[in-house]
Structure 1
């Protein structure tokens, strides 16, 4: 008699990120659900408001300016507002055009991104959430996405409401200060793929880089 053992795949918990790195989505492969932290305090110099792209001059950050991000008192990430007094949307789109305009799938995706920018969401959290849903569709990651209902420190979360499986807490496991560090240390890195600039492969970039180069096949690089 053969026993069939069904392993329960984990739910994954992340903070929102602006054009998240490829490692963010690699960590979602096989997950039962994604939980998005909606009650953490905003932290500067994180992927919450920045991403890394590859240009002719090398790796470059794109940063969304925010209001009150430098206040000494703690502010919920979900309440941080985008600073539209600065013309950052035009600058980001111009930089993406310069860096990726010649890639195979730039025209395939850029209009969708323009549409998201044109909606001009007030809060950074809402912008990041819109981008997250868009990228999950592009990568064919069909897992449910939930928002947390309160904040629990790392190491204290026993379970989230109605979890589909055990919880893998990956909040702040990815950092632009250490862009090559994987979200899960025991997980193999995303395999190298053809990039638009440079002879050596540049790891740790935004999912934008993979999508513009690989298009609908991008999801196969996450397994």
Structure 2
């Protein structure tokens, strides 16, 4: 079985899905420590005037804490903000009405654990993309050797261009004439619908050819 070790993100970007494309299992590690510059609690979408970042506030933010112990801070009304921002950005997208109900529950009634929220989101995204990779959790990496190890690679510390994990395949976007690469998977699903998988596949092939 082809296994890729990966981090767990909030509505992962296209770089993530390009990098895991073609693998049969995505190995996740809930006991791995939280890294401040990861996308575990943030994602980026395209608004009418700019790229917008959506962030989930978390409790007790400190470096030395396992990701499975990260709890969402519900004192801040982030769910309503995310709901309205996504709806404003993509309400007129061709496939918004079809795909948004799959994610609506995550915003209206999210679990207390950020890990459980992200895992649920990833599972739904894989299903909507038609990707058959299963999601599995492991305590450490000592039990097996993955074909690819993405842990710690996809972060906001550097631009995606420097990592060589993603070669953008342009597609229709709702705003602007210039294509904005590597946004949240929400952008691709809402704009392209059933063709989203084809875009990911094409991006993965271009990435391999550019190496």
Query: For residue 175 of structure 1, what is the aligned residue in structure 2?
Result: 155
Structure having the higher helix fraction is: 2
Unaligned runs of 5+ in 1: 1-8
Aligned residues: 201
Tell me if structure 1 keeps the 8 A contact 2:33–2:65.
yes
1:32 Cα offset (Å) = 2.3
Say whether residues 1:98 and 2:88 are aligned partners.
yes
**1:32–1:111 CA distance, 2 compared to 1 (3 A):** closer
Say whether residues 1:21 and 2:13 are aligned partners.
yes
Tell me if structure 2 keeps the 8 A contact 1:181–1:204.
no
User: Aligned to 1:17, what secondary structure does the other structure show?
Assistant: coil
Tell me if structure 1 keeps the 8 A contact 2:24–2:132.
no
Tell me if structure 1 keeps the 8 A contact 2:26–2:136.
yes
Distance in 2 (CA, whole Å) between partners of 1:196 and 1:138 is 20
Query: For residue 119 of structure 2, what is the aligned residue in structure 1?
Result: 129
Tell me if structure 2 keeps the 8 A contact 1:51–1:176.
no
TM-score between the two structures when normalised by the length of structure 2: 0.88
TM-score between the two structures when normalised by the length of structure 1: 0.84
Say whether residues 1:54 and 2:46 are aligned partners.
yes
Tell me if structure 1 keeps the 8 A contact 2:41–2:55.
yes
User: Aligned to 1:67, what secondary structure does the other structure show?
Assistant: coil
Give the alignment of 1:109-124 within 5 angstroms: 109-124=99-114
User: Aligned to 1:200, what secondary structure does the other structure show?
Assistant: coil
Counterpart selection for 2:186 from 205, 208, 216: 208
**1:79–1:50 CA distance, 2 compared to 1 (3 A):** same
1:55 Cα offset (Å) = 0.7
1:207 Cα offset (Å) = 0.5
* Structure label with greater radius of gyration: 1
When the two chains are superposed, the root-mean-square deviation of aligned CA atoms in Å is 1.9
1:109 Cα offset (Å) = 1.4
Unaligned runs of 5+ in 2: 202-211
